[in-house]
Structure 1
Amino acid sequence: MKRAYTNGILLDGTEQMEPVRGKVLLTENDKITAIADAGANLDGYEVIDLRGGYLCPGLINLHVHLAGNGKPSAKPRDNAALVRKILSNRLTRAIAYRLVCSYAKLELLGGVTTVRTVGGIADFDTRCRDDSAAGKVLAPRILAANEGISVPGGHMAGSVAVAAHNNAEALAQLKKASEQKVDLVKLMITGGVLDATEKGTPGEMKMPPEMIKAVCDAAHKLGYTVAAHTESPAGVKAALENGVDSIEHGAKMDEETVRLYKERGAFLCTTISPALPYALFDTAVSGASEKDQYNGKIVFDGVVESAKTALANGIPVGLGNDVGCPYITQYDFWRELCYFHKYCGVSNRFALYTATLRNAQLAGIGDVTGSIAPGKSADFIVTRENPLEDLRALQHLEVVVCRGRAVKKPSPKRRKEVDALLDPYLV
């Protein structure tokens, strides 16, 4: 299929992108073949008139849990028990897998054309990845980690991560993940906001440094990068000292941490979305205890300060929104860009660049996607308004194209109660 997208205003996804008018984007099957001048011969092309819309690369979400739907919950759930039930028989497994695929579709309808999963149920993420690539399901490109590696009592142990009691069990899980042909490895090094048993202790160290090192060394020999859930300064240092490649979430940094990032060549995946409700919502709304709100504020401030420090010191920063956490839905990644702009002080242009080309580069697929250029995958979105002027333009899409497959007027079913609670924090 050869398509010509005409009358659009191009934003190419590069750091210095500016709106470019008078061009036609040509694609063939799943690739961008050329950017031609308006008036070029379009014989043999299906012509799609964008009517002055803004065409930019599809968004790339670097921190996704496809098994969650983001539904707010006033009471904590026993996720480990739920996963055991899901995996207990073929019928429930099949139903759960279909749900995972439907959640992946919602990511796409929200303008996300690539996701990087960092903890899932069984091998569902790699299965969805392969079914998406084969055109069997409508979903983004997926870089999958499947189940993460945690420890007993550790973050997400028993749900989207396996609890390893020792190094041998951790390495056995790595071997299993490799046999499932994952794209990266995920470690759960510290606790999170809701894991903490006391005020002031979010991000408590859970995984021993020797286990971190053992998994990282083995993963690197197999050609995998390692991402790590870390929400405290001590956790970040332990992760970097023992070989982790990307810090997920982050925490406030000192000079030693900055040095470790640079020596390791690691990057920070900033996730402002998940802690925001616990930190900023009234507890009557969030259902959080005083302890959880206090700890949520520590993590929220740490994530924001970490991103600011990284940017100021030339440490690469990517964006993810930890979709699946309460209030974080699959179609709302655009909010993370707004928060990055608001709380970290970056320009709209830099936020869009980060969520497209920069994220692609950090994920190791910058030669495949992330920008509008000949030879790249046909992954892009079209908005009616200019996202460089207002990032909220990204919530209303005219077209989503992923690997050449176009979805016109995508309209994911929204959770209006979530919109009403989160919208005041956009500006």
Structure 2
Amino acid sequence: MESMLAPGRGARKEQGGSRSAADDTMPGAGTIVWGPDAPLDPDAATTAGLLAADPDSARPRPRRTPPAAAVVPLAIEHVAIVACDGSRCIFPDSTVLVNAQGVIERIGESDALDPYIPREYRRIPGRGRFLMPGLVNLHAHGFSDGALGAFGGPKVRAFHAFRHSFLGRTARARRDLDFARSMMAEQLAAGVTTVRTGGDMGYEMVALRDAVNAREMVGPRIVASGPTIGTPHGRRTSRRMLDASTLEAARDSCRRNIEAGVNCLSLSITADAGDDIDVSELSHVQMTERQIRAVCAEAHRRGLLVAARCLSSQAVHTALLAGADIVEHGAALDRESLRLLRRNPLSLRGWSALVPMLFEAQTRATLPQSELGQSDAARANARLVCDGVAKGVRQADLADVAIGVGTDSGVTFMPQYAMWRELDALVRFGGLTRAQALHCATLQGARILGIERVTGSIEEGKYADLVMLEGNPLRHLRELESPTLVVARGVALWKPRPRRLPELDRMLDVI
């Protein structure tokens, strides 16, 4: 971290200080800092209809050309930089310069840099505030805001029944794209600048990824998985999955996703914690090692990562033996699984990572059954999974395994803006420190996706994926709930405000 600062400068404790009067001259809440004079309405940029769906095509197509996401050079001044490298290092009174390509070009002490800031750079006051890398969410969904309905309840069943009806097939591509676009805007407003989707309705996230990369719209960097690959008699939501019931079907489903343009694969190899099944069935692995290995081999030939949904120790072990690069949701880990996580000869890069979803597990295990629509069997499953996920996090931490952060945003009771809650759960229930949790949600997450050279930390030469907060996240992770500024590849959003679900927030606050 010292290399990113002026020569001879070291880490020091943060210093307080009141914000300057320049704060009052900044744009209003939710404004995108596009040009030096006239801010653009964020609704026009982040939620405008940018793409249309073609029901006859695997991928949605552009509807009209949206305004380009122009980058205005920025100078974030007099801010305290939180390293997010696993330590508690903070570099006070720093200035970060972001060029017109959205890349960090200079970092140093404010007194040294301020006299040399070019006039065309928009100055953003940071005195008394904290700047950290943008968050990396390794598991999110764009098909819901998290308040769709109870697990396995009639609303969910009716929703999936409609989606697979004649009318549903015609309308769903457009609806999926429109909704996913708004959900990615919610992620960005919550400080998430990189999202890996953990299973999509179709290929709407591929279209959004391409639009963001082309700067046709403002959004987080997207790693799109496409539809999850699984068995038709597996999870209760299997109708949105691609078939992997046989070895050849698994290969075909993998190729279908790859041909559609995904840059990651998602497998589901166990039942859901909310399924109304006997506890003994929860550990059953629904794909064979050969089937999983076939998907991994096909994906790895194309240079793509494979993530496997695992809710039992047996499933984790099987997935790792087959070459899975990421095991997600999680469970208690045996010695062999810990060894394979650190060194996996069949994975793409020779090691694998754990992406636990501890807060989601806590919601299913602790919220009232009446609110969740849970049977007694489903509650027993949820408690078993919750205990296993927490134990797995502690084991992985002690074994120096790569741990990332995913929220499962989009499933019931998991809103798109809940990233800070997952970090808090990793600290309270998984035994990590706040510094470790922030590292897992930034640089470690980027490393797991293989993009650590371009994002994940505040360094010269990397893209400006940044979050500015009013308070120190090393003291209170809830500071992440309301960012003052979010910067995604150089495009700055001042005081973003995700659309909140107050009743749901009150329920989640008691966990």
TM above 0.5, one fold?
Answer: yes
Partner of 1:207: 287
Residue 43, structure 1, aligned to residue 118, structure 2: yes
State the match for 2:277 in structure 1: 197
- Mapping of residues 10-409 of structure 1, within 5 Å: 10-29=81-100, 30-39=102-111, 40=113, 41-44=116-119, 45-71=121-147, 73-74=149-150, 76=152, 77-78=156-157, 80-85=160-165, 88-155=168-235, 158-264=238-344, 265-409=351-495
- Structure 1's 334 and 75: CA in aligned 2 closer, same or farther, altered over 3 A? closer
Shift in alpha-carbon separation, 1:210–1:52, aligned structure 2, 3 A = same
Aligned residues of 2:236 and 2:272 also touching (Cα < 8 A): no
Offset from partner CA, 1:168-224 (integer Å, 9 cap, x none): 122112112111221111111111112352134324321122211111122112211
Any conservation in 1 of the 2:243–2:253 contact (CA below 8 Å)? no
CA drift of 1:17 comes to 4.4
Change (3 A) 1:25 1:160: farther
Please give the secondary structure, in 1, of the residue aligned with 2:254. Answer: helix
Alpha carbons 2:244, 2:287 under 8 Å: kept: no
Q: How much is the aligned-residue C-alpha RMSD, in angstroms?
A: 1.8
Q: Percent sequence identity over matched residues?
A: 31
Provide TM-score, normalisation by structure 1.
0.95
Say if 2:189 and 2:498, in contact at 8 Å, map to a contact too.
yes
Q: Residue type of the partner of 2:248? A: A
- Cα 1:364–1:309, aligned 2, differ >3 Å: closer, same or farther? same
TM-score, normalized by length of structure 2? Answer: 0.80
Report SS of the residue matched to 1:273: helix
The Cα offsets for residues 28-54 of structure 1, whole Å up to 9 and x where unpaired, read as 131111103213221322111123211
Conserved in 2, the CA contact under 8 Å of 1:83 and 1:121? no
Partners of 1:5 and 1:345 in 2: how far apart?
34
Q: Write the distance in 1 (CA, Å) between the matches of 2:163 and 2:187.
A: 22
Is the contact made by 1:27 and 1:378 (CA closer than 8 Å) also made in structure 2?
yes
Residue by residue over 1:387-419, the C-alpha shift from the partner in whole angstroms, topping out at 9 and shown as x without a partner, is: 001101110110111011111111112111111
Q: Which amino acid aligns with 1:69?
A: D
Distance 1:35 1:72 in 2: 44
Note closer, same or farther for the CA distance 1:261–1:21 as it changes in structure 2 (3 Å cut): closer
Alignment length (residue pairs): 425
* CA distance in 2 between partners of 1:271 and 1:322 (Å): 7
Q: For residues 279 and 108 of structure 2, what CA distance do their matches in structure 1 show?
A: 59
> 1:318 touches 1:355 (CA, 8 Å); kept in 2?
yes
2:358 aligned counterpart, secondary structure: coil
| Distance in 2 of aligned mates of 1:91 and 1:82 | 10
Q: Name structure 2 gaps, 5 residues minimum.
A: 1-71, 345-350
Residues 380 and 259 of structure 1: is their aligned pair in 2 closer, same or farther, counting only changes over 3 Å?
A: same
SS at match of 1:319: coil
Answering whether residue 88 of structure 2 is matched by residue 2 of structure 1, we say no
Letter in 1 for 2:86: E
Determine helix, strand or coil for the equivalent of 2:360. Answer: coil
